[in-house]
Structure 1
Amino acid sequence: MWEALIAVTALAAMEIVLGIDNIVFIAIVSARLPKEQRPNARRVGLLAALVMRILLLFTISWVMQAKEPFFYWSSIFGDWEFFEHHEELAGVSVKDLILFFGGLFLIWKSVFEIHEKLEHDPHGEEGPKKAPATFSGVILQVMALDMIFSLDSVITAVGMVKDTVTIGSTEISGIWLMVTAVLISVAVMIAFANPISEFVERHPTLKMLALSFLILIGVMLVAEGAGTHFNKGYIYFAMAFALLVEFLNMRVRIKGRKPAKSEPEEESPVQPAEGS
């Protein structure tokens, strides 16, 4: 019982942390919709993400096979000595392709949004209207990116959970623990998606920082797809530190906008009249 509870808690926490990227992306793309459609787009996007992750869990055999190379560069370049010393670059798998092209898409999308921000809204004022976005288009973008974000988290989750877990006298499949963790994490993300998105929208500099984070994540995905592995802990630490600095800057700006309290003028003492 305790083993299952600890596993679900750890998995849910991991899914929430890895899902922050998804919430930021949803906040960015949903901002192109009319204001009244944004909350629904965020909810539907996260529910679509839930379906995507559960489908990946139930096609776990395919997910694990996606790591196996289906193409080797040696078939083109022959027995090149470079690949003997860099075995991780010798083959190309489905996972590599998904991460590589998904990272390129994320970089393109983030750079496009930054260009829109600089071109049309340089001083935080409302400029020319952006190209209209459709509700279905936003959801499709969210689903496509979520598959990329989910792939690594699902593979990690499979490595963390045993095939079967005993609760009392009953053995259950580890997949159901993972499904439970995904349900909990998506429920938490739905609860916080609107406040986070609205907060990002209210602060243009924070939105620019979020887009920069997405570019960083896109570069990391491209590198992972090309066979170069990063320690994600360093990247998340750098992002957290940059976010802390931005919060301090926001605090300074808010204090700077507050009007200074004027001190009351001191009344000059009344001089006694001469001859009194």
Structure 2
Amino acid sequence: MADLLTFENLGNLLMLCFLQAVLGFDNLLYISIESQRAPVAHQRAVRFWGIIIAVALRVVLLFAMVHLIGALSEPFYTFDMPGIIEGGVNFATVVFVFGGIFIIYTAVKEISHMLSLDHLGTDVSHKSGKSAFQVVLLIVFMNLIFSFDSVLSAIAITDVFPVLAAAILLSGLAMLLLADGVTRFLEKNRMYEVLGLFILLIVGVVLLGEAGPAAAHAMHDDSLQIKIMGYDLIPMSKTTFYFSVIVLFVVEAIQSGYSRKLAAERHAEQNRSHG
């Protein structure tokens, strides 16, 4: 126990908590949006149990990764079609591709639903096409997809399992504390739910990009970098991702302010014409 209470482990814990907070933003956003698909009476319980189960499974995933990192990093297939597709595929590659496609599909489906005529006449707070159990399963599943990148990054910082587990538990506690507030904000500001779905769309693209160098980074072999049509499939940097998110929020804020100002001017003009 005394071996764990060192300045190095404390510094690593603080760094890991910061890392989990930065990488957990998109996860929290997904939880807040997806939980609204459950029946209203169960939405809070869905968020609570979804996060609790997901955090527990994330610790299990971490334990497995620490002990099986070599086996999971080893490429099990290599594409060798020059000019079409090249590079190695390992477990991380499959997770990133599957997760990215699933998130993109989810975001596009929900955006299409919001644009449909049926949605315009429906109060989404009283109707849902998913049961509470289905939503919990989706939250747990997607939490594991989101956590894979953060777990790999965490292992690169330290291999001390108690420190890694503590960071995951603290990040889970933070999500529990913030999930209800984020959900209430989205319910009161429906336009930001659409914005959140577009952010999830970007997250899906980011995950697909992460698949490109997954095997190459794990084996320190650049020849395993996935290339499509001769071009490297490279991930979007976190700086670019958060810059894109900030730009989307700024554009939404400016558009909302302009819409309110335009509505106020029209209302004032109507009052003058009636007066």
Shorter-chain TM range is 0.7 to 0.9
**SS of structure 1 residue aligned to 2:73:** coil
Preserved contact between residue 25 and residue 214 of structure 1 (Cα < 8 Å): yes
Preserved contact between residue 102 and residue 218 of structure 1 (Cα < 8 Å): yes
Aligned-residue offset at 1:127: 7.5
**SS of structure 2 residue aligned to 1:133:** coil
The answer for unaligned runs of 5 or more in structure 1 is 164-173, 262-276
Bigger shift: residues 133-142 or 251-260: 251-260
Equivalence for 2:51: 46
Counterparts of 1:40 and 1:116, CA distance in 2: 25
Aligned-residue offset at 1:242: 1.7
Preserved contact between residue 64 and residue 155 of structure 1 (Cα < 8 Å): no
Distance 1:240 1:62, change over 3 A: farther
Paired-residue identity, %: 28
Please report the TM-score for the alignment, with normalisation by the length of structure 2: 0.78
One-letter amino acid of the structure 2 residue matched with residue 71 of structure 1: Y
Please report the TM-score for the alignment, with normalisation by the length of structure 1: 0.77
Would you say 1:62 and 2:68 are equivalent positions? yes
Preserved contact between residue 124 and residue 204 of structure 1 (Cα < 8 Å): no
Distance 1:257 1:97, change over 3 A: same
CA deviations 1:171-199 (Å, max 9, x no partner) are: xxx11111111111111111010010111
Aligned-residue offset at 1:123: 5.8
Counterparts of 1:241 and 1:128, CA distance in 2: 29
**SS of structure 2 residue aligned to 1:45:** helix
Would you say 1:96 and 2:93 are equivalent positions? yes
Runs (4+) of structure 1 moved beyond 6 Å? 254-261
Preserved contact between residue 157 and residue 178 of structure 1 (Cα < 8 Å): yes
Equivalence for 2:3: none
The answer for unaligned runs of 5 or more in structure 2 is 1-5, 213-225, 227-232, 269-275
Aligned-residue offset at 1:2: 2.4
Preserved contact between residue 107 and residue 198 of structure 2 (Cα < 8 Å): yes
Distance 1:52 1:63, change over 3 A: farther
Distance 1:242 1:158, change over 3 A: same
- For residues 138-153 of structure 1, the aligned pairs below 5 Å read 138-153=135-150
- Let me know the Cα RMSD of the aligned residues: 2.8
Distance 1:18 1:127, change over 3 A: closer
Counterparts of 2:136 and 2:175, CA distance in 1: 16
Equivalence for 1:198: 184
Counterparts of 1:24 and 1:107, CA distance in 2: 14
Aligned residues: 241
